[in-house]
Amino acid sequence: MSDSVASSHSIPITLIGGYLGAGKTTLINKILSYPGLPPGTAVLVNDFGDINIDESLIRGASNDGTVIGLSNGCICCSISNDLSKALDELHGLEVEHVIMETSGVAEPARVWQHCHYPGFTPMACVVLIDASSYAARCQDKYVGSLVRAQAAQAHLHVVSKADLNPGFELHHLTPQLSSQDPDLIETILRWQHVDDGTFTDLLLLNKPSFRAQTWYQEETIARNSLDALLNNLGKSVQRVKGWVDTFEGIYKVSKVGSVATMTKLKDNEPRPTILGLVIIAYGDACSISESIEQAGALASGQITMTFSS
């Protein structure tokens, strides 16, 4: 299969991480049954064990049973403890995009390195956060550091089981979706992480994608500067979330579409550990970078902004 590394482009890999029970399998099942799943999507799972594939979707399986072909032109593939073998097998097939479930005890950053496998390239790391157990797990003597690392290494958080813990709040300036979000699958499929703030030429440039940039607040600003910032973001900006310190107090900020809400933190509420905003934009690379630049230019006139993606 050595000729396969000759293919001209690298296949992007989206990682789905998160601790045991955070909802990875549920999410994978949703992806597999998503009507808009583009042909050529390969879903890599640790084990077919809990995966539900509608019988009517199954078109055939490989001899050793590790690859299942689906009638929508996608495939589902079991890693079975040998990721390199699974990736080499994918190379012989017409695959455009890989969605890879990581083990519940994997650190996403370590698996991210694995995505540099010849012929592949990492695209985004999505980590599921179980709202009902996250806080307790972070303190666990065995997996506390692992669960914290998983959350810290994510490019996109998907909060699951929020119904079991409605007040759950994750103090991370990482873009965040709910597992109930109607656009969840589309957003995950199109999420693109950019390593160093420059847009790479590798991926999906002809297709719109989701990206996020984070503004870390260094100085206290005026409340009206914040209003101006939120009102003047480009059309490609889908969501804004974060905490901002103003001369009138700290505001929790959330903007979905054109509706922005700002809630002042009460004195008795805990102060967030990180101040800033995460801005999620959708569109082609050009429109996103313009929008981000606009926001940056606007803000730079009034406040110091440091962006990092």
* Nearest-angstrom CA–CA distance, 20 and 140: 14
* Nearest-angstrom CA–CA distance, 37 and 23: 19
Q: Given the complex with other proteins, which of 83 and 185 has the nearer CB atom?
A: 83
- Compute the Cα dihedral for 193, 198, 203, 206 and give only its sign: positive
* Nearest-angstrom CA–CA distance, 281 and 235: 8
Q: Given the complex with other proteins, which of 53 and 265 has the nearer CB atom?
A: 53
Least distance CB 36 / other proteins (angstroms):
27
Pick out residues in 117-146 that bind other proteins (CB under 8 A). 117-118, 121, 141-143, 145-146
What is the size of the binding site for other proteins (CB under 8 A)?
A: 36
Pick out residues in 68-87 that bind other proteins (CB under 8 A). 78, 80-85
H-helix or E-strand containing 27? helix 24-32
Q: Collapsing DSSP states into helix, strand and coil, what is residue 229?
A: helix
Residue choice 39, 47, 71, 301 for contact with other proteins (CB under 8 A): 47
Residue choice 39, 60, 105, 227 for contact with other proteins (CB under 8 A): 105
Residue choice 10, 102, 176, 291 for contact with other proteins (CB under 8 A): 10
Q: Given the complex with other proteins, which of 113 and 139 has the nearer CB atom?
A: 113
| Contact status, residue 157 vs residue 49, Cβ threshold 8 Å | no
* Cβ atoms < 10 Å from Cβ of 129: 27
Strand partners for 17: 127
Interface residues toward other proteins, by CB under 8 A: 1-2, 5-6, 10, 19-21, 47-50, 65, 78, 80-85, 88, 104-105, 107, 113-114, 116-118, 121, 141-143, 145-146, 149
